Amino acid sequence: MKTTYGKSVTVAQDGTTAIVRIDRGANRNAIDQDTILALTELAHDLADTLDIHSVVLTGTADIFSAGIDLKDPAKWNEDDTALLARRSVAQRGARLCQLWQDLPQLTVAAINGPAVGGAVALTLACDWRVMDRASFLYLPETKVGLNMGWGAIPRIVALVGAARAKRAILLAERISPETALDWGIVEEIAEPGQAVEAALALTTAAGVTPPALLRMTKEAVNACATPLHRIGIYMDADQAMVCRDSDEGRGAREKFLKR
């Protein structure tokens, strides 16, 4: 397994735990196509790694990620691209999150600072989440003319129920650490800047379980909890293209970017 993937993803090993950090150094750590592909490649490598038993996913010290990069030309400038290729690009986020959900290792998202849109979707694909007190979750997709994709809807419904999922997505209210804990989205709240440390404490506590039993248990629980998720997400990419290419979608994004 490498220590650097793409331009913005690094991996450091702490015993049997891999600490994965997203740090673009620009655009509020927004997720561009390079980052999606880097995290995808890393997931494939982690899945084949036997000496890593847990993974902590985090961002920078003051922001997890501002979500999908609305200014990334590799994502948005596709007017002359064939439908098959456009659909393949649109499916990258959902594929990425599914790969992270299916990792055999225990995964914990350590959220320091804001996590927005697609970044929230990625954390929902992890087994557990920790937020520090300076962070919040925010799902603005419908405000910018997009669907809530990347498989996020069935995952958040499973955690908080249908009514709260609709509220989080349709009202686009910022979800505080306290609310996230009350709703069952996160396992713990850490002091500012201490989310990684809190996540590592969880992985250390889980480390008393023999690695094979940890993997078997995770696989069994996921098999029971997610059998119908595919029904809810198989059209994610197609919905994303319709929303993105509509006049309403373009207008909403233009207003958002001007702000």
Do residues 239 and 161 touch, judged by C-beta distance below 8 A?
no
**What is the share, in percent, of the chain residues with pLDDT greater than 90?**
75
What values do phi and psi take at 7, rounded to 5? -95, -10
132-172 pLDDT, tens digit each: 999 999 999 998 889 999 999 999 999 999 999 999 999 99
Task: Pick 115 or 238 by higher pLDDT.
Answer: 115
Alpha helices by DSSP H, listed for 57-150, are 73-76, 83-90, 92-101, 118-124
91-101 pLDDT, tens digit each: 999 999 999 99
Q: Which residues partner with 188 through β-bridges?
A: 130
Residue 248: the pLDDT is 84
Residue 77: the pLDDT is 65
Residue 242: the pLDDT is 87
Does position 254 have pLDDT exceeding 90, yes or no? no
Q: Which helix (H) or strand (E) holds 156?
A: helix 152-160
Tokens representing 218? 């995770």
Band of residue 29 on the pLDDT scale cut at 50, 70, 90:
very high
Q: What is the DSSP secondary structure assignment for residue 65, as one 8-state letter?
A: B
Q: Among 56-70, 101-115, 149-163, 224-238, where is mean pLDDT lowest?
A: 224-238
The average pLDDT across 12-32 equals: 95
What values do phi and psi take at 164, rounded to 5? -70, -35
Q: What is the mean pLDDT of the chain?
A: 93
Residue 79: the pLDDT is 67
The average pLDDT across 225-241 equals: 85
For residue 120, which of 89, 94, 152, 96 has the smallest C-alpha distance? 152
Q: How far apart are the first and last CA of the chain?
A: 41
Q: Could you give all domains of the chain from N- to C-terminal order, each with its CATH number?
A: 4-258 (3.90.226.10)
Residue 112: the pLDDT is 96
Does position 199 have pLDDT exceeding 80, yes or no? yes
